[in-house]
Chains A and B, each alone.
Chain A
Amino acid sequence: MKPTNSTNSTNSAHLTGTALRAGWSRGVIELRQTFTNGADLVSHLLWPVLMLTTLYFMRDREFGASGLLLGTLALPSILGMNAAMGMMTMSQVLTAEREDGTLLRAKATPGGMRSYLTGKVITVAGGLVADLAILLVPGMLLIDGLAAGSAGSWLTLAWVLALGMLATLPIGAILGSLFPSARSQGLIQLPVLAMIAISGIFYPVTSLPDWLQTLAQATPIYWLGLGMRSAFLPDSAVQVEIADSWRHLETAAVLGIWAAVGLALAPVVLRRMARRESGSGVAERREKALRRVG
Chain B
Amino acid sequence: MATKPSNDMDVDGVVLDVEGLRMRYGTTDVLRDVTFRARHGEVVALLGPNGAGKTTTIEILEGFRMRSAGRVSVLGTDPAHADEEWRARVGVVLQSWRDHGKWRVRELLAHFGTYYVPYATDAVPRPWDAGQLLAAVGLSAHAGDKVRTLSGGQRRRLDVAIGLVGRPELLFLDEPTAGLDPRARYEFHDLVHRLAAEHRTTILLTTHDLAEAEKLADRIMILSGGRIVADGTAEELARRTAGADEVRWTCGGRRFRHETAQSTQFVRELFREHGEAVGELEVRRASLEDTYMALVREHEQGSGADEAAGAGEERQAVTAR
On A, residues with C-beta under 8 Å from B are 1, 11, 14-15, 18-19, 21-22, 25-26, 29-30, 33, 37, 97, 100-102, 104-105, 107-112, 115, 277-280, 282-283, 286
Contact = CB atoms under 8 A, between A and B. Distances in A.
Nearest to A3: B85
17 contacts: A18-B115, A18-B118, A19-B115, A22-B111, A26-B111, A30-B102, A37-B102, A105-B94, A108-B92, A110-B119, A111-B84, A278-B59, A279-B94, A279-B95, A279-B174, A280-B59, A283-B95
B268 interface: no
A19 B98 CA distance: 24
A100 B148 CA distance: 12
B117 interface: yes
Contacts of A25: 111, 114
B112 A15 contact: no
B68 to A, nearest CB: 15
Instruction: Give the interface centre of A97, A108, A278 by most chain B CB atoms within 10 Å.
Output: A108
A274 B87 CA distance: 15
Nearest to B5: A1
Interface of A is mostly: helix
Contacts of A33: 102-103
Contact of B107 (A1, A21, A29, A37): A29
Given A104-B64, A105-B162, A282-B95, 8 more contacts: A22-B114, A100-B99, A101-B95, A101-B99, A110-B116, A112-B115, A278-B62, A278-B64
B103 A29 contact: yes
A280 to B, nearest CB: 5
A280 B64 CA distance: 10
Contact of A280 (B55, B102, B103): B55
Interface string B1-40: 0000111000000000000000000000000000000000
B256 interface: no
Given A18-B114, A25-B111, A108-B87, A100 B64 contact: no
A22 to B, nearest CB: 5
A19 B116 CA distance: 10
A271 to B, nearest CB: 14
B64 A277 contact: yes
A110 B94 contact: no
Interface string B62-88: 101100000000000000000011011
